[in-house]
Amino acid sequence: MAGHSLPSTIMSMFVPVHRDGWKFLAIGVALALLFLMVWPPLGWLLVVISAWIAYFFRDPDRVTPLREGLVIAPADGRISAIERVVPPPELGFGISERQRISIFLNVFDVHINRAPVAGRISRSVYVPGAFVNAALDKASADNERRALVITTGSGEEIGVVQIAGLIARRIVTFKDEGDTVAVGERFGLIRFGSRADVYLPEGKTALVAVGQRAVAGETVLADLASSEAEREARLG
């Protein structure tokens, strides 16, 4: 069958590079070609760096669950914390505690962020700040970040915060306040290591566990239509 031919199998291994990475890749390739002619050792090092840039900005397709009420992971990475906290003021959620699910992205994770729910971006606030290790709890309050509130068709509000990390120096958002997004739609990225926090509506609990790997656009973090208690898990 054509779908299982050797060429199609090989091509399926190549993942598109997101347009935000094209300029970085172009610079890397240009420098690599230049130094391959002038000083090959550095040229080959730049070839490796260019390959890593293409890998970092890869933008794979994802299969997103569409049932209403599901909250989907906005980022690839490890679930680093699940805790009840007072949301940051820029979200405008008040002082009542909500469950926060934190996803830590290392430099090898896909860094494209996807909308956890479908709805309208009712709030988008950029907050300048520091660049401490994004795995630390204080990163939610101290680091540079972009806070988004997505209001669903049923009126539920989900907070998503893109947080810069130790070596991240740019938060990119493709959507503006007032725009609508589909669940799983690409809405931004954070360059070179970072973190994404999701704030659930009051009284809602997570269906994932600390240490679990999340896949943006695919992993179900919570179900707003369910009364299921927070899940227990074990590492093994």
Check if 194 is active-site.
yes
C-alpha to C-alpha distance for 224 and 15, rounded to whole angstroms: 33
Q: Tell me which H or E stretch contains 28.
A: helix 22-38
C-alpha to C-alpha distance for 24 and 18, rounded to whole angstroms: 11
CB 43 within 8 A of CB 29: no
What is the C-alpha radius of gyration for the chain, rounded to an integer number of angstroms?
A: 19
Positive or negative torsion for Cα 43, 47, 53, 54: positive
C-alpha to C-alpha distance for 190 and 85, rounded to whole angstroms: 23
Question: Residue 77: how many CB atoms within 10 A of its CB?
Answer: 25
- The residue from 122, 194, 226, 227 that is catalytic is 194
CB 16 within 8 A of CB 61: no
DSSP assignment letter at 142: H
The catalytic site residues sit at 194
